[in-house]
Structure 1
Amino acid sequence: MKTEFIKQLNQSKTIEESLRFLAENVSGKIVFSTSFGIEDQLITDAVFTQNLNNIEVFTLDTGRLFQETYSTWHKTELQYNKHIKTYYPQANTLESFINEKGINPFYESQELRKQCCHIRKVEPLQGALKGAAVWITGLRAEHSPNRNTLEILQWDEQYQLYKFNPLLHWTTEEVKQYVAQKGIPYNVLHDKGFISIGCAPCTRAIKEGEDFRAGRWWWEDASKKECGLHR
């Protein structure tokens, strides 16, 4: 993208202004991936309330999500009268994996956990991003030390597109205040100590003093906790 475009996008704007600027100035396909976490709900609100119809909002249904996540999904579609496109794992691949490795093999080794993430998340994401020029995410630097080096708009070599992280430098308190002020539906698990909410077998609430990502794959080495969606 041209330097001037990036400069304008990175200028101090509200979340609504930045998304509208993106929608009005990118001719290619724009997609936003939501997992119905509080950050994603904030972005969804900005997209849906402005009727930015050229931004496709999609989610990945792994088949192992919390019931509270499905409830948030349902409430969101009802509140905004919008449809969220859904991508699922390949049935044959998932069936073979479970029949060979068992229903919860991710507790046995990091290799099996990553294989499960790849089948349930990465492969469906590859389909969702096909042909996209810009991928909008709810990534925040606070969530992980690995995300401190991210930029608000950057080229993603893995998927060959631009990744836009509009909430990268927002604090948790800023996100919560915005959601509360606007009456945006959010996952009630956030009120129970859940920070980063993924699949139910792989997510727990964090304890006082623990790192943001402590609740994800808590049985593994904490040095790098990612599922492969973001690198």
Structure 2
Amino acid sequence: MESHSIDYLRTSTADLSWEDRLEWLSREFPGKVCFSLGFGKEGMVIADAIFRKNLPIRVFTIDTGRLFPETYELMDLVRARYKTQFEVYFPESRDVEQYVRQHGVNGFYESVENRLSCCEIRKKRPLKRALEGAEIWITGLRKTQSDFRSQFEEFEWNEYHGLFKFNPLINWSKEEVDEYLETHRVPTNRLHKSGFPSIGCAPCTRAIVKGESERDGRWWWETSHKECGLHLDITREVKQSTSTPITRIVKTA
């Protein structure tokens, strides 16, 4: 049933543009299509299409509580630019309080286990709440962002959440994303101009240098697949040693 359904989505939208696919999905699954907006460049491309066309697609974002000020600025700019609202999901305060008591405010620097636990609390659990009742989950993934993301296709079944994922920009290049943003004059995060191609939580993101990949600035202190787990499910596992030694970052005044 899963494969047949995916095949149906692919064949039914084969001759449509990616924007028309968004509209088709919103009609085919009324009230069951949602888009997770992370306010990166790719997300802003998709958000622009949804808001500009006034598509009946539920847009939500996850506020981890540790985002950059520039990201919050962009949130307000999007509200003003498109005269629209989007849903904001936060981590449960008790989960955060328990984590801080056990590991400290920045305990994620100590080990991969601690970092994944923080991502679980601040990202994955809110995402699970946000996706409740949805049948189509739209994301801004691109294959060239990382080796791990190169595995994804335009339409996929996500076993963990029990829904279909639609990755409309999966085959886009970085240059195509930038061209769309410029052509449609879409607002973006100011940090992109300072060497931040991928922007997450402030303590866990740095600018990249020449020769590094787009996601090398994420969790730079550890050797991992550079994912928080939002796009992992039981059908696609990534081998990672959680016992890998991590160098503690000591910040000096």
Question: In the alignment, what sits opposite 1:230?
Answer: 231
Deviations 1:22-63 (A, max 9, x none): 11222451110011001000100100111112x100000000
Which of 117, 130, 148 is the equivalent residue of 1:128?
130
Offset at residue 195 of structure 1 (A):
1.1
Q: 1:139 and 1:119 mapped to 2: Cα distance?
A: 22
Instruction: Determine if the alignment matches structure 1 residue 80 to structure 2 residue 82.
Output: yes
Question: In the alignment, what sits opposite 1:141?
Answer: 143
Deviations 1:76-135 (A, max 9, x none): 011001101000000111111112211100111000000000000000000001111000
Which of 170, 181, 184 is the equivalent residue of 2:183?
181
Instruction: Kindly provide the amino acid, as one letter, of the partner of residue 12 in structure 2.
Output: Q
Offset at residue 3 of structure 1 (A):
3.1
Which of 17, 22, 39 is the equivalent residue of 2:20?
17
Instruction: Determine if the alignment matches structure 1 residue 52 to structure 2 residue 58.
Output: no
User: 1:1-231 counterparts in 2 under 5 A?
Assistant: 1=5, 3-9=7-13, 11=14, 13-27=16-30, 29-53=32-56, 55-222=57-224, 224-231=225-232
3-state SS in 2 of match to 1:97:
helix
3-state SS in 2 of match to 1:62:
coil
3-state SS in 2 of match to 1:106:
helix
Change (3 A) 1:178 1:137: same
Larger Cα-atom Rg: 2
Moved more, 121-130 or 19-28: 19-28
TM-score under structure 2 length normalisation: 0.87
Following TM superposition, the consecutive aligned residue runs of length 4 or more in structure 1 with deviations greater than 6 angstroms are none
For this pair of structures, how many residues does the alignment match?
A: 228
Instruction: Kindly provide the amino acid, as one letter, of the partner of residue 229 in structure 1.
Output: L
Q: 1:134 and 1:60 mapped to 2: Cα distance?
A: 18
Question: In the alignment, what sits opposite 2:251?
Answer: none
3-state SS in 2 of match to 1:148:
helix
Change (3 A) 1:12 1:105: farther
TM-score under structure 1 length normalisation: 0.95
Cα root mean square deviation, aligned: 1.2
For the 8 Å contact 2:6–2:157, the answer to whether it is kept is no
Offset at residue 191 of structure 1 (A):
1.1
Q: 1:38 and 1:134 mapped to 2: Cα distance?
A: 21
3-state SS in 1 of match to 2:216:
helix
For the 8 Å contact 2:9–2:155, the answer to whether it is kept is no
